[in-house]
């Protein structure tokens, strides 16, 4: 049931993501940039609200473009806004059953243990308080802990330093390029480089398909590494324009644009070399530069293996950029008109989503039936094309869930959970409920900082039930402790995919997550333990 529900929520979230109604509050938030604390508090709170009813990555995908765009317009660094919205997306997931996969898994474990699952808003009793306290911390204190040199305002040029990749060269009369219509085959013969534009008679022309005849006097805008450029200048008899002022504006025309986009774990280019993608032939687009963890990679782009969190600078027409972003499952860092659904169909999809929430929260239907039913209604009314149902599912997460659930069951049947429980009890004799739940949360938080939160839940939920039974306590507070702590992976960039996604655009270091996240995790622990014991008594 958890796998079905998670997949259904992913599909429904992708429909909500394309709703024009979201632009109304987002425009209001973007007007608050002169009031820094209120602006960041609003960003974090609205992200948390969205994350309560859709998957965390979907909430981040909605908020990240508007946050970066509004921040840059106010000369605020992306690093100031990205950490708060990533933390907000994690905090918002604590408040409802569908907010994050751990909550769904915990509900299933409760049903197996006592015969009744948690309801849609059972998690709100504790999770809402934790989320509010966490949002207030991030909005008033957390963002101030980011190092000052990370918060220096940066634009696209300074993020990528495109002069490390892009060079201008003058075509002389003796150059073998004169009179040639450049083709990909000829380029490979001359060297490993790309001609991405031509300046002729002081007018820029973008040669994305290399179909322009080269003339003497042309200025070529080329992409190549330093070693290749030296050979090119000599073999093609070009003159290197060393003092040219190259910026991203040089790579744009009326019909050619640039966009920054982040690679996610579910992107189709994650783990692949850029030259395998054949972007020029498939989409008529160029990847101009790449930034990893805030640092520009000074290596040949074609042979580079992409990783989750890398930021790409892509050049192409608006239509081609839309296709690149959607087909490769990238997250754009600025707002684009990427909607593929007529507005009426979007509203219909949102209506089905709301019906699923209502029927699940009133227990008219089981959660998995309610949300999978909403997806079937979307299919019946052709809200999105059929292929989008498959494409909008984050398959790595679904496969991980499906593979880990049997592993958790094996841990129970082989006696592994009993062994771990006895070890915990032996190390902490005369354990009080406060100490037991606090210890369980600390172990779960630590594990979640390094592995997927769903995997953490599958490992820790059986241990929580076994620990409660050994202490002769009710299992609910222990399960709720795992649900909250599994979603609080704030200390590392690898604990949650959202942490990985923001690392490149924000220019963060590993230590930045610890600096901001440590006090937040401590605050969550201090608030959660008494709240859990109050709302869910152990006896």
Task: Indicate which CATH number applies to the domain containing 307.
Answer: 3.30.70.1450
Q: pLDDT at position 514, please? A: 94
Q: pLDDT at position 43, please? A: 94
Helical H segments across 17-148, by residue range: 23-30, 36-53, 56-73, 78-92, 101-114, 124-140
Q: What is the pLDDT of residues 373-404, one digit of tens each?
A: 999 999 998 888 887 788 778 777 788 777 77
Q: How confident is the model at residue 166 (pLDDT cuts 50, 70, 90)?
A: low
Q: Are residues 144 and 167 in the same domain?
A: no
Domain end marker among 332, 364, 386: 332
Q: Are residues 426 and 515 in the same domain?
A: yes
Q: Are residues 328 and 433 in the same domain?
A: no
Q: Are residues 212 and 316 in the same domain?
A: no
Residue with more model confidence, 155 or 116: 116
Domain that holds residue 34: 2-154+347-535
Q: pLDDT at position 245, please? A: 52
Cα–Cα distance measured from residue 147 to residue 158, given in angstroms and rounded to the nearest whole number:
18
- Which segment, 147-151, 164-168, 276-280, 496-500, is predicted with the most confidence on average? 496-500
Q: Are residues 36 and 113 in the same domain?
A: yes
Whether the per-residue pLDDT at 535 is higher than 70: the answer is: yes
Q: pLDDT at position 32, please? A: 87
What is the average pLDDT across 458-467?
Answer: 88
Q: How far apart are the first and last CA of the chain?
A: 29
Cross-strand partners of 311: 262, 291
Q: Within a domain: residue 525?
A: yes
What is the average pLDDT across 303-328?
Answer: 82
Whether the per-residue pLDDT at 323 is higher than 70: the answer is: yes
pLDDT > 90: percent of the chain: 26
Q: Within a domain: residue 341?
A: no
Q: Could you tell me the pTM of the whole model?
A: 0.80
Q: How confident is the model at residue 189 (pLDDT cuts 50, 70, 90)?
A: very low
Lowest mean pLDDT among 176-190, 364-378, 498-512: 176-190
Q: How confident is the model at residue 91 (pLDDT cuts 50, 70, 90)?
A: very high
Domain count, the chain: 3
Q: Are residues 134 and 41 in the same domain?
A: yes
Q: Within a domain: residue 454?
A: yes
Q: Within a domain: residue 340?
A: no
Q: Within a domain: residue 337?
A: no
Q: Are residues 317 and 410 in the same domain?
A: no
Q: Are residues 454 and 485 in the same domain?
A: yes
- Which segment, 198-202, 305-309, 348-352, 414-418, is predicted with the most confidence on average? 348-352
Q: Within a domain: residue 338?
A: no
What is the DSSP secondary structure assignment for residue 273, as one 8-state letter?
B
Q: How confident is the model at residue 290 (pLDDT cuts 50, 70, 90)?
A: confident
Q: pLDDT at position 335, please? A: 62
Is the distance from CB of 107 to CB of 475 less than 8 angstroms? no
Q: Within a domain: residue 128?
A: yes
Residue with more model confidence, 532 or 216: 532
Residue with more model confidence, 506 or 144: 144
Whether the per-residue pLDDT at 188 is higher than 50: the answer is: no
Is the distance from CB of 266 to CB of 396 less than 8 angstroms? yes
Query: What φ, ψ does residue 131 adopt, rounded to 5°?
Result: -65, -45
Q: Are residues 320 and 453 in the same domain?
A: no
Q: pLDDT at position 86, please? A: 94
State the chain's mean pLDDT as an integer: 81
pLDDT > 70: percent of the chain: 81
What is the average pLDDT across 499-510?
Answer: 86
What is the average pLDDT across 299-304?
Answer: 63
Q: Are residues 53 and 149 in the same domain?
A: yes
Whether the per-residue pLDDT at 252 is higher than 80: the answer is: no
Lowest mean pLDDT among 56-65, 147-156, 283-292, 467-476: 147-156
Q: pLDDT at position 185, please? A: 45
Q: Are residues 366 and 422 in the same domain?
A: yes
Domain end marker among 225, 251, 277: 251
Lowest mean pLDDT among 63-72, 146-155, 179-188: 179-188
Q: Which of 195, 197, 190 is nearest to 232 (CA)?
A: 190
What is the average pLDDT across 36-54?
Answer: 93
Question: Distance of CA 22 to CAs 15, 63, 143, 270, Å?
Answer: 12, 10, 25, 29
Q: Are residues 107 and 38 in the same domain?
A: yes
Is the distance from CB of 343 to CB of 353 less than 8 angstroms? no
What is the average pLDDT across 152-160?
Answer: 52
Whether the per-residue pLDDT at 538 is higher than 50: the answer is: yes
Domain end marker among 216, 235, 251: 251
Burial track 276-315 (b if 16+ CB lie within 10 A, e otherwise): ebebbeebbbbbbbbbbbbebbeebbbebebbbbbbbbbb
Q: pLDDT at position 302, please? A: 62
Written as six digits, the tokens of 15 are: 């429909």
Residue with more model confidence, 376 or 418: 376
Q: What is the pLDDT of residues 210-230, one digit of tens each?
A: 567 888 888 877 766 556 666
Q: pLDDT at position 129, please? A: 96
């Amino acid at each position: 049931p958890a796998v079905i529900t998670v997949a259904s929520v992913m599909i429904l979230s992708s429909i909500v993501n394309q709703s024009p109604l979201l632009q109304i509050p987002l425009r209001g938030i973007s007007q608050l940039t002169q009031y820094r604390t209120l602006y960041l508090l609003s960003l974090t709170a609205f992200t948390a609200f969205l994350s309560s009813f859709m998957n965390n990555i979907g909430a981040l995908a909605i908020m990240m473009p508007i946050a970066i765009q509004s921040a840059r317009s106010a000369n605020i660094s992306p690093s100031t806004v990205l950490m708060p919205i990533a933390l907000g997306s994690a905090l918002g997931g604590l408040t409802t059953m569908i907010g994050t996969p751990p909550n769904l898994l915990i509900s299933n474990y409760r049903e197996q243990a006592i015969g009744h699952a948690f309801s849609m808003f059972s998690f709100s009793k504790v999770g809402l308080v934790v989320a509010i306290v966490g949002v207030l911390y991030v909005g008033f204190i957390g963002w101030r802990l980011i190092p000052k040199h990370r918060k220096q305002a940066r634009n696209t040029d300074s993020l990528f330093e495109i002069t490390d990749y892009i060079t201008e060269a003058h075509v002389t009369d003796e150059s073998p390029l004169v009179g040639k219509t450049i083709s990909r085959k000829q380029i490979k013969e001359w060297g490993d480089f790309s001609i991405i534009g031509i300046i002729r008679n002081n007018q820029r022309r973008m040669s994305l398909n290399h179909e322009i005849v080269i003339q003497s006097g042309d200025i070529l805008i080329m992409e190549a590494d330093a070693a290749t450029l030296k050979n090119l200048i000599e073999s093609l008899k070009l003159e290197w324009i060393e003092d040219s002022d190259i910026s991203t504006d040089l790579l744009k025309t009326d019909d050619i644009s640039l966009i920054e986009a982040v690679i996610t774990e579910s992107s189709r280019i994650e783990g692949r070399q850029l030259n395998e993608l054949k972007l020029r032939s498939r989409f008529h687009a160029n990847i101009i530069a790449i930034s990893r963890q805030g640092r520009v990679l000074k290596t040949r782009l074609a042979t580079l293996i992409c990783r989750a969190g890398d930021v790409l600078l892509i050049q192409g027409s608006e239509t081609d950029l839309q296709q690149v972003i959607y087909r490769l499952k990238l997250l754009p860092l600025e707002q684009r008109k990427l909607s593929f659904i007529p507005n009426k169909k979007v509203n219909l999809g949102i209506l089905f989503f709301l019906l699923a929430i209502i029927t699940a929260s009133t227990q008219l239907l089981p959660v998995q039936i309610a949300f999978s039913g909403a997806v079937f209604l979307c299919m019946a009314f052709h809200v999105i094309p059929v292929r989008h149902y498959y494409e909008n599912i984050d398959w790595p997460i679904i496969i991980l869930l499906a593979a880990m659930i049997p592993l958790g069951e094996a841990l129970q049947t082989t006696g592994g959970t009993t062994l771990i429980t006895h070890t915990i009890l032996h190390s902490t004799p005369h354990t009080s409920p406060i100490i037991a739940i606090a210890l369980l949360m600390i172990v779960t938080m630590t594990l979640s900082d390094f592995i997927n939160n769903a995997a953490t839940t599958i490992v820790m939920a059986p241990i929580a039930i076994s620990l409660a039974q050994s202490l002769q306590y009710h299992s609910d507070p222990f399960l709720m402790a795992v649900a909250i702590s599994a979603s609080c992976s704030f200390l590392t960039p690898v604990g949650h995919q959202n942490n990985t996604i923001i690392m490149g655009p924000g220019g963060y270091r590993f230590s930045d997550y610890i600096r901001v996240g440590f006090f937040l995790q401590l605050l969550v622990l201090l608030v959660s333990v008494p709240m859990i014991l109050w709302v869910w008594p152990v006896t």
